[in-house]
Structure 1
């Protein structure tokens, strides 16, 4: 397999000016660069830039994947929307981390699959699928942070590490959050077990909340919105979330307990699936046996017509018709065993062999079938 790396950066809160685009062009002559986006892919060699530095200086989101199994997502937000202490409570390791740069907090989520097997670049996630998560984080939705913690629990954390607060809605992930869970390779059983301690989000009442804001404040928000402030929506949603729902309680389970519960659920689920598959196979076997029984009864009532059909199939001289003739002959043989006419069957079958002795393909089928 040849090497493949994909880099994508996105500027959300601002556009890149000409000087910034020129600086980025100096890092890569082949990249697709616009006022809001930088994308490049490599089938050999490496990118000369540093993604962390590019996030600090230019961009608000970054996605990277490589065919050897590395997946990485970075998100940058103003610190008034993503508190560093909160982010670090969910991101305590090297692969899942957060840091402050100037007035922003940058979140980095990384997953590695050393096997890297079955890879296809056309199946990989793109940043457009995940970027709505940034707005959710800005609005105070911490489910993406908790997904990052689950990645760390799977790979790096000590078993006695206590989980952070469990945000509501883990069992009702948005499409973007489901894509993130898949991108980070979070075990489905682990996510299901973790979601058992998650409450339901309370998103109803937003319109009433906005109506209840003081008129002067609503006017100010409207002016900010029409003049291009990208944070108005997140600010309103964040305030509503804080007023409408209590902060999630601190987690009470350890990483080890969650992993053990996930393993138990997986064993139970696989056992149920195995039992179901066995029952379905038995039913299919019974159905086939019943169908053959009905077929043999019909043949016994009109054997001569069946022999004529065998002869007609053979005369067609087509491989598929040869196969059908052999199946019908096997049924006729079974009928002869039930009626005590095996000698008659053997005589008629030998006549067929003699009559069609110049058809090697048919004779080969006779031999393989054991007729």
Structure 2
């Protein structure tokens, strides 16, 4: 089977220099390379560069996926915007790693599918779907980190480890708004194959999405209260572009000032409690879906039955004309008209049965058989429809 690998890098906070572009071009002769991006697809062979070092040194985001299921998203943010310390609680070997390098925090979201699962020939991703996560994280929205932790928990469950360990592992702080994800967060949940029942169970402990919304009045008051010298410094950085994450960073400071010392979640749950809650949610969801399918089938069947009744009522208004139509169709001596004639005869059988005149129907069908017994194809259709032989 054909292999496929996709590599993409983005430089968002600053473009690559001419020298840096030259270094990157040495790694691939077929990639689409610009001062802000790198894209290449491989149907054979592999990328020669060290993707981790490229993000550590040059790029702010990296996306990789292969059709055998492996997936990786790496984001780089200034450490003063998101410290690695804030990410530690969400790290899980199966889905999220974080580290610092040269004044940046790097987040490595991954999904490894080396367990012989089915190859994925349908999924397609681009970094544009995920880059919004950087601004969200810079503004203090840690839902992306919690989603990665959930993904790791789901993978961990599939490994059939000692279940006692689940009772010892405690979830990290649950960010607000898990029940209503942003577009980039939904893309990440899909990318990391977060179990939707596990996500729904986890969201029950989080604060509502309104806690993540921007309160413009509170933000205006926060900015007004900043010292004049700091405002001047911030404005200069904004004009010069030396602080690309300035907006999200100020928003994070505003939120922290409004909600000092508050918890982002209720009492932390163990992994075992979360998995049990996900199981109950899944069971209830499956029950509701089955119930909905049953109801939809009932409605569909009722509609078919009502349409059938209306059709038979129309035919019953002039059954003699229907019998004449049957004779005319048989007289054409062709397969398709034969089929239509048999369909009308089955309708007539039901009409006569409902009217209590089934004997009359049997008599007339017997006469038809007698008149057309030299037509074996028609007789086979009569037999197949269970029409009386005499």
Q: Do they superpose with TM above 0.5?
A: yes
Tell whether 2:187 aligns with 1:179. Answer: yes
Match of 2:357 in 1: 339
Change (3 A) 1:252 1:346: same
Match of 2:322 among 306, 314, 319: 306
Q: What does residue range 241-252 of structure 1 map to in structure 2 within 5 Å?
A: 241-245=255-259, 246-249=262-265, 252=268
Match of 2:226 among 192, 204, 213: 213
Match of 1:237 in 2: 251
Change (3 A) 1:11 1:295: same
The C-alpha deviation readout for 1:137-163, integer Å capped at 9, x for no partner, is 111111101111101111237412100
Change (3 A) 1:348 1:276: farther
Tell whether 2:131 aligns with 1:136. Answer: no
The question of whether the paired residues in 2 share the 8 Å contact of 1:162 and 1:251 is answered with: no
3-state SS of the aligned residue for 2:100?
strand
Tell whether 2:205 aligns with 1:204. Answer: no
Listed as ranges, the gaps of 5+ residues in structure 2 are 158-164
3-state SS of the aligned residue for 1:156?
helix
Stretch deviating more after TM superposition (249-258 or 20-29): 249-258
Measure the CA separation in 2 of the matches of 1:228 and 1:49.
30
Q: What does residue range 96-135 of structure 1 map to in structure 2 within 5 Å?
A: 96-113=96-113, 114=115, 117=118, 119-121=120-122, 123-135=123-135
Measure the CA separation in 1 of the matches of 2:108 and 2:364.
76
Change (3 A) 1:321 1:18: farther
Aligned-pair distance for 1:367?
Answer: 4.9
Stretch deviating more after TM superposition (17-26 or 259-268): 17-26
The question of whether the paired residues in 1 share the 8 Å contact of 2:94 and 2:111 is answered with: no
Tell whether 2:239 aligns with 1:226. Answer: yes
Q: What does residue range 308-327 of structure 1 map to in structure 2 within 5 Å?
A: 308-311=324-327, 323-327=339-343
Change (3 A) 1:249 1:303: closer
Q: What does residue range 3-22 of structure 1 map to in structure 2 within 5 Å?
A: 3-22=3-22
Match of 2:160 in 1: none
The C-alpha deviation readout for 1:111-169, integer Å capped at 9, x for no partner, is 23446547335x42211010000111111111101111101111237412100111111
Aligned-pair distance for 1:342?
Answer: 3.1
The question of whether the paired residues in 1 share the 8 Å contact of 2:32 and 2:40 is answered with: yes
Change (3 A) 1:42 1:323: farther
The question of whether the paired residues in 2 share the 8 Å contact of 1:136 and 1:234 is answered with: yes
- TM-score normalised by structure 2 residue count: 0.85
The question of whether the paired residues in 2 share the 8 Å contact of 1:166 and 1:251 is answered with: no
Measure the CA separation in 2 of the matches of 1:312 and 1:117.
57
3-state SS of the aligned residue for 2:48?
coil
Tell whether 2:172 aligns with 1:164. Answer: yes
How many residues align? The count is: 367
Listed as ranges, the gaps of 5+ residues in structure 1 are none
Stretch deviating more after TM superposition (274-283 or 234-243): 274-283
Measure the CA separation in 1 of the matches of 2:39 and 2:315.
69
The Cα RMSD (Å) is 2.7
Change (3 A) 1:94 1:288: closer
